[in-house]
Amino acid sequence: MNAVREARLSLIRERLPLYEDAKRLEHTVGVYKECQWLAKKFGLSEEDSYTVCAAALLHDIAKNLSHGQALEICERYGVQPPAVPAVMHQYTGAFLAREVFGEEIVTDAVCSAILCHTTGKVGMTVTDKMLFVADFTEAGRKYRSCRDIREYLHSECEKINKNEKTALSRLLNDTVKRIVGFTVTYLIEKGKPIDADMILTWNEIVSEN
């Protein structure tokens, strides 16, 4: 990665403790490392590698905001607050990140990945999917479901050459499908609401098979 992009990532890392506590930072670093690993395994371009790494560092920047602060950001940018409060931070995080770091650092592609890292969305890009997956599979996630999907992803990745783009794309899509399927099932079993974007993500990804 060139010096300019490295400097931008360094700036994010330097300022992030102003917005995240130690526990949240530990998770963020885990997602960042997982995205670095995936970017290398999938042979991403330098630009896409920057996108997914910057998005990884910034994806939870709005997680510690109060509900009132989050609503203020929604109002400021004309964003309809989600019906499921637990996913509010993905909708506010992209806007907060751009306010703090500017659009040269927080590009449209970085915003896109942040905006769907919890629920997914219709028409996800490779970098969108990669952050969505890494948020679930980073090494700090100790739940059985996270461990199982992480082990599946890593073991399958080792079998595929980074030049086999079709196989890698199929693996990434399948991993997204597994995560969404698990999450939807879990939320139904617990009697919890499901964000509409996650349902749309599921419908799109199963229709592709």
**DSSP codes, 137-192:** HSTT--SHHHHHHHHHHHHHHHTS-TT-HHHHHHHHHHHHHHHHHHHHHHHHHTT-
Average pLDDT, the chain: 96
- Do residues 67 and 85 lie in contact, with contact meaning Cβ atoms separated by under 8 Å? yes
Q: Which two tokens stand for residue 88?
A: 């509010």
> pTM for the whole thing?
0.97
Q: 188 falls in which pLDDT band (50, 70, 90)?
A: very high
Q: 1 falls in which pLDDT band (50, 70, 90)?
A: confident
Distance from C-alpha of 81 to C-alpha of 101, rounded to nearest angstrom: 23
Q: Is the pLDDT of residue 154 over 70?
A: yes
Q: Which two tokens stand for residue 15?
A: 């300022």
Encoded amino acid at 91, one letter:
Y
Sign of the torsion formed by the C-alpha atoms of 109, 60, 14 and 36: negative
* Residues 20-74: tens digit of each pLDDT: 999 999 999 999 999 999 999 999 999 999 999 999 999 999 999 999 999 999 9
Nearest alpha carbon to residue 53 among 87, 13, 101: 13
Helical H segments across the chain, by residue range: 3-15, 22-41, 46-58, 67-77, 88-101, 108-115, 126-137, 144-158, 165-189, 196-207
Distance from C-alpha of 90 to C-alpha of 95, rounded to nearest angstrom: 9
Mean pLDDT along residues 6-16 = 97
Domains in the chain, CATH or no CATH each: 3-207 (1.10.3210.10)
* Residues 75-102: tens digit of each pLDDT: 999 999 999 999 999 999 999 999 999 9
**Residue 209: predicted pLDDT:** 61
